[in-house]
Amino acid sequence: MATGAEVLIVGAGPAGIATAIAASQRGLRVTVADARRPPIDKPCGEGLLPEGVSALRQLGIWLDSSVAFPIAGLRFSDEASSACGRITRGAAFGLRRNVLHDLLVRRAVALGVSFRWGTRVTELNSDHARLDGVLFPFHWLVGADGQRSIVRKLSGLGPRRVRSARFGFRCHFAVTPWSEFVEVYWGEHCQIYVTPTGPDEICLAVLTSDPQMRVAHALKHFPSVARRLDDACRSSEETGCQTVLEFPRSMARGNVALVGDASFTIDGITGQGMSLAFQQALRLGDALASEDLGPYRAAHREMMQEPVRMARLLLLLDRQAWLRRKALRMFSANPKLFSRLISSHANCPKPAPIRAGEMFDLGWQVLRA
Ligand SMILES: Cc1cc2nc3c(=O)[nH]c(=O)nc-3n(C[C@H](O)[C@H](O)[C@H](O)COP(=O)(O)OP(=O)(O)OC[C@H]3O[C@@H](n4cnc5c(N)ncnc54)[C@H](O)[C@@H]3O)c2cc1C
């Protein structure tokens, strides 16, 4: 294959570049094509959970406080209650998407991955894609092209089952972070979550079902947060996109595999999308090197079970104000329980999963709160 690649990856977001790194670490020749050019940014809460940090290490990228802001855990607050859970196993960080993108690209280039920037893939068959008008042969094709994946569509792996669709907006403020936690503020029409991304900057993301809501509008519902930002300048443009919970019918078939949001999209409120993408990339790298996508399919299915449960729980709290108030009141009164929930979501390695009996007990305590 003189001008082609063993692996062609469409999409150079976190999932695509991580897969490129994993595949080249295993000796494969990889080309990545992206319609955009670096630095590539995207609306995101910009928190990276310990599983993501650990997967990044396996890809050869070590985060520390010189490039990212260490995160101690998560705090949920509403107008009446507040509960905080510490991350006790593994490290979590907040960092700008463009900083992360730069780290990923540098690592991939060092491993010999070749990039085709500004190249939108619009035509595919089972062994060729059209790149800049020229046919480009491949042995494996990876769709890492996000929520609206063209690879998924053209290779017959879609459509997906949509369970929930909301909107996410984010911008940065030049202000000293007021907390070492990711602060999630719950309100009637939206959630705001604030991630420290540096010693003088926070990322503020709004998640809502209201397509008209923007950051300034959302802040009116959270006067305590608005007051902290009164004198702070915005340090980035406000950008937004849809955030969905979408299930795939399949994430691999023949010589095509999907990874990251192209394979399965999870609502931004979980703060888990990139961590999952990095873990998937490692498993996909193994599968490509062993010429068998079966183990990737199985690992992907298993990996998504707990995050889907968590996304459903959080989306339920978004929809049902009475339940959310009760849950936050109960978590606030019972910090150990909240820490347990957070550690099953965020820690790495994970503790034993919450058993059915414990879930029942949890539900009962919420109803009584
Ligand atoms: C509001 C919000 C907050 C979030 N907060 C967090 C968080 O705090 N932590 C976390 O881990 N996750 C978070 N997420 C999720 C996270 O942003 C995604 O899971 C992550 O971006 C997925 O990466 P990806 O590489 O799969 O897709 P993307 O980042 O969407 O990258 C896809 C790439 O494919 C390229 N592309 C698309 N089509 C083509 C084509 N035809 N040809 C060539 N290139 C193409 C695009 O240009 C893009 O660069 C959040 C999401 C939202 C919406």
* Sequential DSSP letters for 285-349: HHHHHTT--HHHHHHHHHHHHHHHHHHHHHHHHHH-HHHHHHHHHHHHH-HHHHHHHHHHHH-SS
CATH of the domain at 24: 3.50.50.60
CA of 81 to the centre of ligand 1 (A): 32
Q: What is the pLDDT of residue 82?
A: 95
Taking only the tens place, the pLDDT of each residue in 258-271 is 999 999 999 999 99
Atom of ligand 1 nearest to the CA of 150: 41
Nearest CA to ligand 1 atom 8: 45
pLDDT band at 249 (very low <50, low <70, confident <90, very high): confident
Q: Are β-strands 82-86 and 233-234 bridged in parallel, bridged antiparallel, or unpaired? A: unpaired
Across the chain, what does the average pLDDT equal?
92
CATH of the domain at 195: 3.30.9.100
What whole-number distance in Å separates Cα of residue 313 and Cα of residue 307? 10
Nearest CA to ligand 1 atom 1: 168
Nearest CA to ligand 1 atom 39: 145
Do 284 and 229 sit in the same domain of this protein? no
Taking only the tens place, the pLDDT of each residue in 326-349 is 999 999 998 888 888 888 888 788
Q: What is the pLDDT of residue 345?
A: 83
CA of 43 to the centre of ligand 1 (A): 8
Whether 13 is in a domain gets the answer yes
Cβ contact 189:221 at 8 Å: yes
Q: Which of 313, 332, 353 corresponds to the end of one domain?
A: 313
Atom of ligand 1 nearest to the CA of 272: 11
Do 214 and 286 sit in the same domain of this protein? no
Considering only CA atoms, which of 209, 118, 226 is closest in space to residue 165? Answer: 209
What whole-number distance in Å separates Cα of residue 57 and Cα of residue 35? 27
Taking only the tens place, the pLDDT of each residue in 60-118 is 999 999 999 999 999 999 999 999 999 989 999 999 999 999 999 999 999 999 999 99
Domain count within the chain: 2
Nearest CA to ligand 1 atom 33: 11
CA of 343 to the centre of ligand 1 (A): 25
Q: Which helix (H) or strand (E) holds 361?
A: helix 356-368
Do 300 and 225 sit in the same domain of this protein? no
Do 131 and 177 sit in the same domain of this protein? no
